[in-house]
Amino acid sequence: MAGLRLRTLLLLAFAVLALLPLVVTVPLASRRIEQTFARELSARADAAAALATAELDRLGAVVDQAVTACATDPLTESVALQLETGVPPAADAMRGVAEGRQLSVLTLRDPSGVTRSSAFLPARVGDVEPGLAAVQVGAPPVVVPVEVQRPDGVQLRPALVAARAVEAAHGTVTLVGGQVLDGAWADRLARLTGARVELQGPGLVPAVAGVADGRTVRRALPLGAAELTLGVGSAAVDETRATLLRALLTAGALGLGLALVAGFLLARGITRPVEALTEGVRSVAGGALDTRVPAAGSGEVRVLVDAFNRMTEDLGHATRALRAAEQAAAWEGVARSLAHELRNPLTPLQMSLETLLAARKARDPRFEALFVESAPAMLEEVERLRRTIDAFARFARMPAAQLEPLELTSWTEQALGIAGARPSVSLRWEPGPPLPVQADRDQLAQLLHNLLKNAEEAMASGGQVTVRTRADGDRALLEVEDTGPGIPTEERARVLEPGVTSKASGSGLGLALGARIAQGHGGSLEVDAGATGGALLRLRIPRAEPADAASRGRESP
């Protein structure tokens, strides 16, 4: 799990390192791209306005040249003479002149501004057209409102016109001509500039052409009676910007993916030895001192793996040596204790036998009385030898604990129910909460019996034995406390060793046997002082999952 967490942290670190430049650069790049394309869009709008201005200048030059040519055309002069003589010219007399010069507006007006002849709107002859009347002779072409004939009727549209004088016999008439700026012209201008074209003015039929998608940057050109507006859309710019951003994000995502792959490979290369070391440490902690971690990695990791393997090898050697020394010391103590316990009854046996042999040899008449007197004592000493040998045999043959689910509190209560005690010793039971454990029933019963027996023997003149169970974190505790004289502090560490006893008739193996039983359950047997100064023996073993321990604990111990 630690290796997995380390690998995850390394991957997160690589991801953050890969994402950090992306998070920083993408907004900056996006803002720079936005500013660049905003300038580009503004430049395109300015360019469209410049193209429109140039187109108007070009068209104005064409109109100026065409009107000047028409003013000197003999046909125009002939029409002017006819008007002076009062002979009305043909209705379409000026049409030929206009069509030859590609003019869509061409009229002759007298000095008072009255239209005398019109190429495309004869119905206005005799009327004053305000727009045309305002055009100054010889001035550059200007945009004025002009009435034109269309299939759906007469419309007021903007036209770029110029006025030139036509000399007649008795005076001067004015020729006004030009081109109507209608939808066809707007469409040509839209194609030329790539912008949306809107030509409109008060009372005029607007001319609109082109499309501006997205955000629109506009440029307005005042043209006298009308206003020309050019709108450049951002659709193409937005698409280009989006393409650039997608490319940037794709490159960032690709870089992130490559960083994660590289990070995963690097993290795996780093964490594999760490995971192996973690498992190795766990195995060594569990007692498998022959654990070796395969040599992997490089640099400091390889040095750490090699050091761990050397450490476990040295630890194994040291542990085996320590165990051998401990076993030798333990059995040396057992042997000394056994020798001591055997020597005690042998001495009186030897003395009694020597006395009987001497009396028998001397044919002492007291032989029979001596034999009757000595035989019971000799049998008692032989029985004592047998009990001592049996105790040591049980200690040596202690089997491995057969652990099974058990509920310690209820089991102890039942065990105390069948436990006997001297009349002078009272038994007090203080039950704790349910304590599920894994235990060997027989060994646990033997341990409780030994603890109760030791407590009773410590109180020769009577007293009270208190048995209690309680929880201490992840451990279950079984305590036996007496009101006897207690065990001195300096002797508490030795009373659990084989052969150590303060009782004249004891073997010194009861508490040592209890300590071995506690170790077989993964716990310990502790010696402490009770509340009244007596001895307190405490069994501490691991708690287990509830499972069916409670139901099993209700069975007979």
Q: Can you tell me the mean pLDDT for 447-474?
A: 89
pLDDT tens for 180-204 read 998 899 999 999 988 899 999 998 8
Neighbours of 332 (CB within 10 A): 10
Reported confidence tier of residue 91, pLDDT bands at 50, 70, 90:
low
What are 9's two structure tokens? 């942290």
Q: Can you tell me the mean pLDDT for 324-338?
A: 60
Using the predicted structure, report yes or no on whether residue 58 has a pLDDT greater than 90. Answer: yes
Quote the CA–CA distance of 128 and 341 in Å, as a whole number. Answer: 153
DSSP labels, 110-121: -TTSBEEEESS-
User: What is the distance, to the nearest Å, from the Cα of residue 140 to the centroid of all Cα atoms in its chain?
Assistant: 74
Quote the CA–CA distance of 245 and 253 in Å, as a whole number. Answer: 12
Q: What pTM was estimated for this model as a whole?
A: 0.46
pLDDT tens for 190-246 read 999 888 999 999 988 999 998 877 788 899 999 888 999 999 887 766 777 678 777
Residue 505 phi/psi, 5-degree rounding, is: -100, 5
Q: What is the pLDDT of residue 299?
A: 64
For the chain, the straight-line distance linking the first and the last C-alpha, in angstroms and rounded, comes to 41
Using the predicted structure, report yes or no on whether residue 287 has a pLDDT greater than 80. Answer: no
Do the Cβ atoms of 315 and 300 come closer than 8 Å?
Answer: no
Neighbours of 174 (CB within 10 A): 22
Q: Name 426's Cβ contacts closer than 8 Å, sequence gap at least 6.
A: 463, 464, 465
Q: Can you tell me the mean pLDDT for 445-451?
A: 87
Residue 168 phi/psi, 5-degree rounding, is: -120, 180
What are 97's two structure tokens? 């002149």
- Domains (range + CATH), the chain: 342-396 (no CATH), 404-553 (3.30.565.10)
- SS3 sequence, 71-88? HCCHHHHHHHHHHHHCCC
Q: Residue 73: which of 93, 56, 52 has the closest Cα?
A: 93
Using the predicted structure, report yes or no on whether residue 469 has a pLDDT greater than 90. Answer: yes
